[in-house]
Each structure stands twice: as structure tokens, then as C-alpha cells.
Amino acid sequence: MTRTGAPLVFTILPETYAVCRLEPAAGVPAWAGSGRFTSVTRTAEELSIICPETAVPAQTLHAPGWRCLKLEGPFDFDVTGLVASFSTALARAGISVVVVCTYDTDYLLVRQADLERATATLVETGHGVRR
């Protein structure tokens, strides 16, 4: 539950994702834009890309095997406690997460091996999960 008191609803995306690391000055590769979810973040230290695992070239440094759960939004920027409402419960269950926030909503990534435990934890804490 969030501060608004409403349960959150997540939809599990069908693809398996990879978190990739490229050099900070690298251009965004064409393969990064495939799938229903892609995140590209550039910092002074790296170009980080999250995209479908099947799109990533073998020679690219990446961590494969992530599943993505879309938090059904949109949410106003004034709503507080969204990420805390699910990440705290998952942390207590020993589940590592990657969270990507966009303008309209958030995306939660968990390792494939943790997907069933993560969804069970979300449901136990009052949230909904759609497959």
C-alpha cells in the first residue's frame, strides 16, 4: 500500500532482460531500442542499458536473467512511498531489485530465479500482480 492507501498493481512483462554497461562516451546502439521496455541512462562513468536479453550482443558486458514488472500508472509526482512500499518488502525477503522510474510509472526488475518469490511477496503485502 502507498500513502494513498491504494494497492499497487504490477504487470509482468514477457521478456527476460539484461542490464548492460558500455563506456560513457559510447553511442546508444541500435539493438538497445527493441522490446516493450528499454532504459538508457548515461552518467560520467557509464552508459547503462536495460533491454531484452535476446537483443544484447555476446561481447557486451551485461548481467542477464532479469524479469520486469511494470507498475501500472500513471502516478503524479506528488505521490510518495511508491518505491518504498514494494522495495522494503522485497528487501526483507532477500530479493535484489533494480528500479527504473519514468515520467508516468515505475518498473521493477528482479532476477528470473526470484520472480515467483517476488510476486508472492508483493501479493502478501497487499499488491496485485498480473501475468
Instruction: For residue 70, give the nearest of 14, 20, 32 by alpha carbon.
Output: 14
Cell of 37: 521496455
- The winner for highest mean pLDDT among 6-10, 29-33, 52-56, 73-77 is 52-56
Domain range summary for the chain, segments of one domain joined by +: 9-130
**The predicted structure's pLDDT at residue 3:** 45
Mean pLDDT of 51-57: 97
For 56-84, write each residue's pLDDT tens digit.
Answer: 999 999 999 999 999 998 888 888 888 99
> Are residues 67 and 12 in contact, defined by beta-carbon separation less than 8 angstroms?
yes
What does pTM read for this prediction?
0.90
**The predicted structure's pLDDT at residue 47:** 98
> Are residues 24 and 44 in contact, defined by beta-carbon separation less than 8 angstroms?
yes
| Domain range 9-130, its CATH number among 3.30.413.10, 3.40.630.30, 3.40.190.10, 3.30.2130.10 | 3.30.2130.10
Cα distances from 102 to residues 23, 39, 125, in angstroms, run 23, 9, 23
How far is Cα 109 from Cα 66, in angstroms, rounded to an integer?
A: 6
